[in-house]
Structure 1
Amino acid sequence: MSTTQNERLRDLLEPLVKERDLDLEEIALTPAGKRRVLRVVVDADGGVGLDTCAELSRRVAEELDASDAMGDRPYVLEVTSPGTDRPLTLPRHYRRAAGRLVKVRLREGGEVVGRITAVDDAGLDLEVPGVKGRRPTARRLDFGDIAGARVEVEFNRKVTKDEEGS
């Protein structure tokens, strides 16, 4: 998608997304046969439900149909929330992943796997699991030290007493 079209779409859609207290994470326009797929990814602190995506999708479709932003070629609209495999790139992504296990690639080389315990404007605190029965350790990472990060999917995570009460 050309930068100009991307900017026009972002300018058109961002107010609709902000009205619902959501963040516009991504806009992607890709060819799919004779059509194109416009994928709009939104997120919020508490996550985004299906009803919210459906309502926003209707509103976005109305706005696109009333404008010339998509031209005259047919397109399919997808409004969705980010999946667990999306990279964590902004402080709000880390904040929304608090309590989750993440794998962090460090700029200096190497990786750290740990659970996010706190996030602020400068970086995040991790609880790194202990090896061979040892206690977990705390580790602080500044955002500038991080080359990339993703949430690790946990299928059999044990819930702590603190989490049961929340």
Structure 2
Amino acid sequence: MDVKAKVEELLQPYLNEDQFFIVDIQVSPSRTRAKITVLLDSDTGITIDECAEVSRRLGHRLEELDVFDGGAFTLEVSSPGVDLPLTAHRQYRKNIGREVAVLLNDGQTLKGKLEDVGAERIVILETPAKKPRKNDPPIAPIEIPFTEIKKTTIQVSFK
């Protein structure tokens, strides 16, 4: 079993019965000090204290099992920043109602409010390029299959 799979297996008891979910695990091996980066989230967010608790418990378990054969390692457990693309289905669900930018596989970018998330697709209400006039037709929601999405990012607004 590779180290990434081992870390994922060891994380399971610390996910509080599926309250937290794994967004990403990265393992960067090194001759001097390996680095493990774990990104966790939940449907309501995850606090620094919760990340620290998981880090302490997971770090202790990794040392106990000597996953790196006595070698040094650095463990970072955090939440994904708002600048990182959405990757997990639960991340999409958590961000319903927020403004997103969706880069499609064909290079086109759609921006709008994330309205709904299904098993196979998302629905956004596209932001018009210009302010709509009184006689403009209403904006129809756009369904985008996950298979057509290259990357989705949250759009932060300071209005």
* TM-score calculated relative to the size of structure 1: 0.80
Unpaired runs of 5+ residues, structure 2, are none
Give the distance between the partners of 1:105 and 1:20, measured in 2 at CA.
29
Q: Which has the higher contact order (CA 8 A, sep 6+)?
A: 2
Matches within 5 A, 1:113-152: 113-134=111-132, 137=139, 138-152=141-155
- After alignment, is 140-149 or 43-52 more displaced? 140-149
Name the Cα RMSD after superposition. Answer: 2.2
Residues 1:25 and 1:71: Cα distance change in structure 2 (over 3 Å):
farther
Match for 1:66: what amino acid? E
> Does structure 2 conserve the Cα–Cα contact (< 8 Å) formed by 1:14 and 1:24?
no
Q: Give every structure 1 segment of 4 or more consecutive aligned residues whose post-TM-superposition deviation is greater than 6 Å.
A: none
> Does structure 2 conserve the Cα–Cα contact (< 8 Å) formed by 1:100 and 1:116?
yes
Provide the secondary structure at the position in 2 that maps to 1:150. strand
Q: Which structure's residues are more often helix, by fraction?
A: 1
Give the distance between the partners of 2:90 and 2:17, measured in 1 at CA.
18
Provide the secondary structure at the position in 2 that maps to 1:99. coil
Match for 1:87: what amino acid? P
> Does structure 2 conserve the Cα–Cα contact (< 8 Å) formed by 1:57 and 1:77?
yes
Matches within 5 A, 1:28-67: 28-30=26-28, 34-67=32-65
Give the distance between the partners of 1:92 and 1:34, measured in 2 at CA.
36
- After alignment, is 103-112 or 16-25 more displaced? 16-25
Alpha-carbon offset, residue 18 of structure 1: 4.7
Give the distance between the partners of 1:107 and 1:29, measured in 2 at CA.
27
Give the distance between the partners of 1:6 and 1:78, measured in 2 at CA.
14
Alpha-carbon offset, residue 75 of structure 1: 1.5
Give the distance between the partners of 1:10 and 1:78, measured in 2 at CA.
14
Give the distance between the partners of 2:66 and 2:155, measured in 1 at CA.
41
Alpha-carbon offset, residue 32 of structure 1: 7.3
Alpha-carbon offset, residue 11 of structure 1: 1.6
Percent identical among aligned pairs is 31
Give the distance between the partners of 2:22 and 2:88, measured in 1 at CA.
13
> Does structure 2 conserve the Cα–Cα contact (< 8 Å) formed by 1:9 and 1:69?
no
Provide the secondary structure at the position in 2 that maps to 1:144. helix
Alpha-carbon offset, residue 134 of structure 1: 0.8
> Does structure 1 conserve the Cα–Cα contact (< 8 Å) formed by 2:99 and 2:111?
yes
- After alignment, is 43-52 or 104-113 more displaced? 104-113
Match for 1:65: what amino acid? E
Unpaired runs of 5+ residues, structure 1, are 157-166
Provide the secondary structure at the position in 2 that maps to 1:153. coil
